[in-house]
Amino acid sequence: MSEQQSYLRPDVVSRLSSMELRARLVVEGFMTGLHKSPYHGFSVEFAEHRPYMPGDEIRRIDWKVLGRTDRYYIKQFEEETNLKAYILVDASRSMAFKAEGPVTKLQYASYLAAALAYLMVRQQDAVGLVTYDETIRTFMPPHSTKIYLQNILAELDRLEPGNATGTGRALNAVAERIRRRGLVLIFSDLFDKPEEVMSALKHFRHSQHDVIVFHVLDPRERNFSFGRDAIFRDMESGEEMMTQPYQIQRAYQEAMSDFIATYKRECREQRIDYVLLDTGTPFDVALVEFLNKRKKVGG
C-alpha cells in the first residue's frame, strides 16, 4: 500500500488535524487506488470530466486526458451539475461508542461523509448535509461550490454526539423537507426499531429518491468479544449491568445477525443500497459502492 493509499485507513485519518485534510487525503488515496484496480479510467470520468458525446463542442475536449487515456472527455462546468445529494449523519448518543475500532462510529461516519462530499463537489455535484439525533439538528441544502463545501466540512468537524436515537422519526422529517429528487446517503448504526426506520426509508423511495444506507457499527457490536466479565452501560440511558459476556455471546450474535439480515432484506426489497461497515473498514469499500450507485443515477 502506498503512502497515499494509507489514508484509506480510519486509524491513519484520525490523526490528521482537520476535516478538510482528512477529506482531501482520503479522496486522493482512493483515486490512486482506482488507477491500480479494475476501475482504472473510472476516476478520470468521475473527477471533473464526462465522456464526449455527439453534439458537444470540440473546443471543450480535454486534450491532455485524450493523450493519457486515448479517450475523448469533456471538461464539465458548474452549470452542468446533474445530481443533488443529501448526506444524512446520525449524531445520536449511541454513535459515540468505541470499543475495538480506532475511532467512534460518529467519527468514522463523519470522515466518510466528508470524503464523499469532497468527491462529489469535485465532480460538480451539489451536496447538502443533515445531522440528527431524535430530531433534525442541522439542515444544509445542496450546493456545488467549493466555498459551501468548506461549510459542510466545518460542520462535520465540530459534530458531537447528542441525544437519544430517533432515526425513524428524524428520517421521516428529512423526507418531508426534501422536495427535489436526489441521492440520499445515510450514515447510522440504525439502533432504532427497524420497522420505523424502514418506514422512513420507504418515504424517500416513494418520493423517487435513490438511497444508500451505510450501516456503521463497532467491531465489538458485531462479534461481542468482551472476555469473561464486563460491565455494560447503555450509551443513552446510562443504565449499567454486570454480566459474563461469553454466556450470552451466542444469543447476542444471533440477534445481531437477525438485525443486520432484516435491514439487508428489506432494503433490497425497496431497491435501496445497503452497505455494512465497521469502524475498522477502509474507506475505499464505501467509496466504491458510492461510485457504482453514482454511475447508475447520473448516467
Question: What is each CA distance from 251 to 3, 99, 193, 221, 254, in whole angstroms?
Answer: 42, 20, 19, 13, 5
CA dist 224 and 137 (Å) reads: 31
188 lies in the same domain as 143? yes
CA dist 4 and 26 (Å) reads: 8
- Give the three cell numbers for residue 71: 479517450
CB 75 within 8 Å of CB 56: no
122 lies in the same domain as 65? no
Neighbours of 199 (CB within 10 A): 15
CB 116 within 8 Å of CB 71: no
The per-residue pLDDT for 231 is 52
Phi, psi of 197 (to 5 degrees): -65, -45
169 lies in the same domain as 250? yes
218 lies in the same domain as 247? yes
Q: Tens of pLDDT along 49-93?
A: 667 777 777 777 778 777 777 777 776 654 445 689 999 999 999
223 lies in the same domain as 263? yes
CA dist 222 and 23 (Å) reads: 27
The per-residue pLDDT for 51 is 72
Decide which of 78, 106, 131 is a domain's last residue: 78
CATH of the domain at 254: 3.40.50.410
Decide which of 45, 78, 111 is a domain's last residue: 78
Mean pLDDT, the chain, as a whole number? 85
207 lies in the same domain as 222? yes
14 lies in the same domain as 127? no
- Give the three cell numbers for residue 83: 445530481
Q: Tens of pLDDT along 33-60?
A: 765 544 434 443 444 666 777 777 777 7
127 lies in the same domain as 217? yes
Q: Tens of pLDDT along 252-264?
A: 788 889 999 999 9
pLDDT greater at residue 250 or residue 245: 250
66 lies in the same domain as 193? no
Decide which of 53, 78, 103 is a domain's last residue: 78
CB 85 within 8 Å of CB 115: no
pLDDT greater at residue 106 or residue 45: 106
CA dist 151 and 149 (Å) reads: 5
73 lies in the same domain as 182? no
206 lies in the same domain as 60? no
CA dist 269 and 272 (Å) reads: 8
Domains in the chain, number: 2
96-100, 124-128, 208-212, 259-263: range with lowest mean pLDDT: 96-100
Whole-angstrom Cα Rg for the chain? 20
- Give the three cell numbers for residue 100: 475495538
In the chain, % of residues over pLDDT 70: 82
50 lies in the same domain as 185? no
CB 133 within 8 Å of CB 163: yes
Q: What domain range includes position 290?
A: 80-298
Give pTM, 2 decimals. Answer: 0.81
